[in-house]
Structure 1
Amino acid sequence: MKTIIRISTYWQIQFIGWVTASLYWGLSAFFSGNFIWKIGIADLILDVTIGIALTHLYRNFALKRGWTKLNLKQLVPKMLFGILVLATVYMFLIVGKLYLVRLFILKSNPLSFMVFFQSVQLQIFITGTRLMSIWILAYHLYHYSRLELQTVKENARLSVIIKEAQLNNLSAQLNPHFFFNALNNIKFLVLENPNSARRAIDLLSELLRNSLNSNIGRLVPLNDEINLVRDYLELEKIRFEERLEIKIEITADVSKHLILPFSIQSLVENAIKHGIEKRKIGGCITVKVEEEYNVMKISVQNSGKLSNEIKGSGIGLNNLKERLLLQYNGNASFEIKEIDNETVVATLLLPSR
């Protein structure tokens, strides 16, 4: 079985870049009419070798010193110093290369090395400065962009972790609140109607099972939330008897949508506590779930009036608002208002998923 040797992107770019630069100089000499093939090939090999060697040494030095992790204010002086040093070394090496190649291939050179050096040093230094500036700038821009991207990813990851912690904290806060109210209901039923109390205990155990399942993930199937609401309303129906009328109208496909756990139940519980419970004659709870233009509209309507107590800092509604903001990043909305005939409507608008 043959082993495939993979060349890293760094070495591919190094080779392609320096070969391209050397070929450009060779073509310039070729079209000027002063081209000698042996010198051209020797220059190509040595130019690529010198360019790769110098920049690779700089790369290793920069990595060892941790320059790739510096901010721009710290990095710029070091880059300028590196360009100056590399350009100077490049000048000496290229001038020596030009002199020796022509000496060995042409077998003669009418100029001494010092005279030759003085005649071409400035041009070679400028060329070296240009090349090293391009290479160093490109190298550090690449690492700087990667560092910025890594920072963005890390901040995003931390943001998700914080959001998860906040959601978990809110869920932990909500569950005891819900079950405390349910147990209070059963306490009254035990005294007034023991048979109904047994059914209420069965419903509460089902509610507990559903809520524990809901804590597995941040979102739950909408169908599970509807079943939770049905059980809760049945539990309240046992307590209120004929004082509570229940209507559940669903026109959306609840099997394919996800929702925050206890989101609808919180609205129903609020409607019971601030609406039905305060009316001697009771009233009606209507739960509607519909989908319009890729928006899931969930409304809970109850008999009663919208008092300042309902608008206040109740744990259920405040908890719901915070969880909606965290989960949907402002793309979900919640509104509660009073309409005609002593009716209050709480509406959730959620993006369809």
Structure 2
Amino acid sequence: MKIITKISTYWTIQLIGWITTSLYWGFLAFFGGTFIWKIGIADLILDVTIGIALTHIYRNFALKNRWNKLSLKKLVPRIAISVLVLSLLYMLLIVGKLYLVRLIVLKSSPASFMVFLKSTQLQVFITGTRLMSIWVLAYHLYHYSRLEIETVKENARLSLIMKETQLNNLSAQLNPHFFFNSLNNIKFLILENPDSARRAIDLLSELLRNSLNNNAGRLIPLNEEINLIRDYLELEKIRFEERLQVKIETSVDLLKYLILPLSIQSLVENAIKHGIEKRKSGGFITVKVEMEHNFIKISVQNSGKLSKEIKDSGIGLSNLKERLLLQYNGNAFFEIKEMNDETVLTTILLPAK
């Protein structure tokens, strides 16, 4: 049974690139009339070995120090220094190779190594600088393009998830239970309290407008999200009346920080649907926003119990966790748990940028 080992793209490019470069120099020597086969073969093998060794060492060093994750401002000085160091090493190795190969093949040395080094160092250094610059720049441009492609894919994925969240949110607000209850409440309020009826109509239209107009490609000020929650809870309080107690506490500058649209709204809507609605006596919802160790801590606590179905597979919460993961590159924290006093606490920690 034969075992076929596939050469990676990296090693394929390395071998093709350095062999092509060495062959080019060999052809120049051949057509220049100074070609010796033994020297040519030795130069080919050693040139390829030196080129691959130096660039592979650089690659491992760059990966170990995560240079591919650096911004261009931080990366450019490192590239310049690296090219200079690589060029000097290349010059010393190539000059040493030229001297030793010719000494061994020709069996004689017309000059000492230092004299030979002084006569060839400038030309070899310039050649090394050109080759190392091309290799290092090509290497980082490749990784930069890969990073850009990954970023575009993540942004597209985030946009799709956000659109799905908007549709889910709109669907929740337009479902017969919510919509017709709101309309029935408004109908009775028209006779009993016309001012409250007009307010309820305004709240309902504002919620629907926000569901349609939220831009999936941007973050919004924290105060916009809080205002949306106030409107939503005010409308729900018309429906639940004394069965719903609401408290919103904030201790941060709401205009200063940006968050994902409909993020806190998803938590509050989940609290209404799976908490307050399932209790005959209703309950409370408390929304709290505060700073904690350079993080914005958002907590929503409500009366109710946490079912395994909601914890593991709730669509709204799953989408929210996915959006947080993509937007904050894993630096955001999400947790939902049932407390001992028959309440559910949902917490989000966002980097305070």
Coarse TM-score class (shorter-chain normalised): 0.5 to 0.7
* Residue 176 of structure 1, aligned match among 160, 167, 170: 167
* Compared CA separation, residues 211 and 182, structure 1 to 2 (3 A): closer
Is structure 2 residue 91 aligned with structure 1 residue 149? no
Deviation track 1:260-299 (CA, whole Å, cap 9, x = no partner) reads: 0111000101111111011000000000000122110000
Match of 1:187 in 2: 180
Look at both structures and tell me which one has the larger radius of gyration over its CA atoms. Answer: 1
Structure 1 residue identity aligned to 2:145: E
Match of 1:4 in 2: none
Deviation at 1:213, TM superposition (A): 4.8
Match of 2:156 in 1: 165
Counterpart CA distance in 1 for 2:265 and 2:185 is 25
TM-score, normalised with respect to structure 2: 0.66
The question of whether the paired residues in 1 share the 8 Å contact of 2:203 and 2:235 is answered with: yes
SS at match of 1:301: strand
Is structure 2 residue 219 aligned with structure 1 residue 277? no
The question of whether the paired residues in 1 share the 8 Å contact of 2:244 and 2:283 is answered with: yes
Counterpart CA distance in 2 for 1:240 and 1:89 is 93
SS at match of 1:165: helix
Match of 1:49 in 2: none
* Compared CA separation, residues 73 and 197, structure 1 to 2 (3 A): farther
Deviation track 1:191-230 (CA, whole Å, cap 9, x = no partner) reads: 3541366543321321233345530642111111111111
Match of 1:297 in 2: 297
SS at match of 1:254: coil
The question of whether the paired residues in 1 share the 8 Å contact of 2:285 and 2:300 is answered with: yes
SS at match of 1:256: coil
Deviation at 1:320, TM superposition (A): 0.3
Match of 1:232 in 2: 232
* Compared CA separation, residues 322 and 166, structure 1 to 2 (3 A): same
Deviation at 1:87, TM superposition (A): 6.5
Counterpart CA distance in 1 for 2:26 and 2:253 is 69
* Compared CA separation, residues 134 and 91, structure 1 to 2 (3 A): farther
Counterpart CA distance in 1 for 2:219 and 2:201 is 26
Deviation at 1:344, TM superposition (A): 0.7
Deviation at 1:79, TM superposition (A): 2.2
Match of 1:75 in 2: 17
* Compared CA separation, residues 76 and 352, structure 1 to 2 (3 A): same
The question of whether the paired residues in 1 share the 8 Å contact of 2:159 and 2:216 is answered with: no
Match of 2:75 in 1: none
Deviation track 1:74-101 (CA, whole Å, cap 9, x = no partner) reads: 1111222344456788997xxxxxxxxx
Q: Please give the residue correspondences for 1:1-353 in structure 2 after superposition, counting only pairs within 5 Å.
A: 71-84=13-26, 133-184=124-175, 185-194=178-187, 195=189, 199-215=199-215, 217-353=217-353
The question of whether the paired residues in 1 share the 8 Å contact of 2:299 and 2:347 is answered with: yes
Deviation at 1:257, TM superposition (A): 0.1
Deviation track 1:137-189 (CA, whole Å, cap 9, x = no partner) reads: 33122111111221122112212211111111111111121122222312123
The question of whether the paired residues in 2 share the 8 Å contact of 1:84 and 1:129 is answered with: no
Deviation track 1:234-254 (CA, whole Å, cap 9, x = no partner) reads: 121122111110000001111
The question of whether the paired residues in 2 share the 8 Å contact of 1:174 and 1:319 is answered with: yes
The question of whether the paired residues in 1 share the 8 Å contact of 2:266 and 2:317 is answered with: yes
Deviation track 1:300-353 (CA, whole Å, cap 9, x = no partner) reads: 000011111221312110000000000001100100011121011000001001
* Compared CA separation, residues 255 and 91, structure 1 to 2 (3 A): farther
Structure 1 residue identity aligned to 2:265: Q
Moved more, 177-186 or 140-149: 177-186
Give the total of aligned pairs.
Answer: 259
Q: Unaligned 5+ residue runs, structure 1? A: 1-69, 93-117
Deviation at 1:123, TM superposition (A): 5.5
Structure 2 residue identity aligned to 1:289: V
Moved more, 131-140 or 145-154: 131-140
TM-score, normalised with respect to structure 1: 0.66
Give me the CA root mean square deviation.
3.0
Structure 2 residue identity aligned to 1:244: L
